[in-house]
């Protein structure tokens, strides 16, 4: 005997499914808004201003015409592990033939996260571009070889938590006096030039 589902049951199930989908969408949108509100500073290195799919607004590179060179060489390539809307954050970059960096004014104490975005769009093997990253003199990324980490034209993020409390910066187990500015430096090494595609600072802890 074939079981027949009453029309009202079908309508109820369809309505319930729609409510679940709406709740999931609202939750995702809420998470994006929450993330964007926590970001205090963001820059699209070597590129123009961009608002990503999380609502984070990246400013145009403030180093333009001052330090290093901007490159959009990556614009000809699709970037793996990145949404189509946000590939531009990995397709442009700033590099320099010497050490260079950004200064971020930090007024409030608390817990923060620094996110650095990279993609290797030029070299097709490891040991071609290798460099370090320092924050206020602390080594936070050592011997970064983007191609060795993820391959060619693939998004790679470095996530660095830190805390500012009572005039002290605590980062990766080290502590130093904090003067109100976060200095992020990309250190020239033996293999080619240091670079960065985009970066931001946000309040909170890694999840």
- pLDDT exceeds 70 at position 90: yes
Nearest-angstrom CA–CA distance, 25 and 142: 39
Report the domain count for the chain.
1
Tokens for 152, please give them: 């060619």
Q: Please, are residues 146 and 135 in contact by the beta-carbon 8 Å criterion?
A: no
Question: pLDDT tens digits for 58-80?
Answer: 999 999 999 999 999 999 999 99
- Does residue 185 lie in a domain region? yes
Domain that holds residue 82: 40-203
Give how far the C-alpha of residue 88 lies from the chain's centroid of Cα atoms, to the nearest Å.
12
What span, in angstroms and rounded, lies between the C-alpha atoms of 119 and 207?
23
The arithmetic mean of pLDDT across residues 112-121, rounded, is: 99
Residue 100: inside a domain: yes
Question: What confidence score (pLDDT) does residue 101 get?
Answer: 98
Q: Is residue 32 part of a domain?
A: no
117 inside domain: yes
State the pLDDT at residue 26: 42
pLDDT, tens only, 140-168 = 999 999 999 999 999 999 999 999 999 99
- Considering the entire predicted model, what is its pTM? 0.84
Determine, yes or no, domain membership for 81. yes
The verdict on residue 8 lying in a domain is no
For the segment 9-47, what is each residue's pLDDT rounded down to a tens digit? 455 455 555 454 444 444 444 455 588 999 999 999 999
* Average model confidence (pLDDT) across the chain: 90
Q: Is residue 19 part of a domain?
A: no
Is 14 contained in some domain? no
Q: pLDDT at position 10, please? A: 53
Check which CATH number belongs to the domain holding 126 and give it: 2.60.120.430
* pLDDT(2) > 90: no
Q: Phi, psi at residue 82, to the nearest 5°?
A: -145, 145
């Amino acid at each position: 005997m074939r079981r027949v589902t009453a029309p009202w049951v079908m309508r109820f199930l369809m309505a319930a499914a729609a409510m679940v989908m709406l709740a999931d969408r609202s939750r995702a949108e809420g998470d994006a808004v929450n993330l964007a509100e926590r970001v205090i500073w963001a820059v699209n290195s070597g590129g123009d201003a961009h608002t990503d799919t999380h609502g984070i607004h990246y400013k145009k590179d403030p180093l333009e015409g001052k330090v290093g060179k901007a490159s959009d060489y990556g614009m000809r390539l699709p970037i793996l592990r990145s949404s189509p809307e946000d590939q531009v954050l990995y397709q442009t970059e700033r590099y320099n033939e010497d050490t260079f960096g950004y200064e971020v004014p930090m007024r409030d104490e608390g817990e923060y996260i620094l996110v650095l975005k990279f993609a290797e769009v030029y070299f097709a093997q490891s040991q071609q571009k290798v460099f370090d990253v320092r924050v206020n003199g602390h080594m936070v990324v050592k011997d970064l070889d983007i191609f060795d980490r993820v391959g060619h034209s693939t998004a790679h993020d470095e996530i660095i938590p830190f805390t500012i409390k009572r005039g002290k910066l605590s980062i990766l187990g080290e502590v130093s006096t904090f003067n109100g500015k976060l200095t992020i430096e990309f250190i020239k090494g033996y293999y080619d030039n240091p670079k960065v595609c985009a970066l931001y600072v946000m309040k909170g802890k890694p999840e």
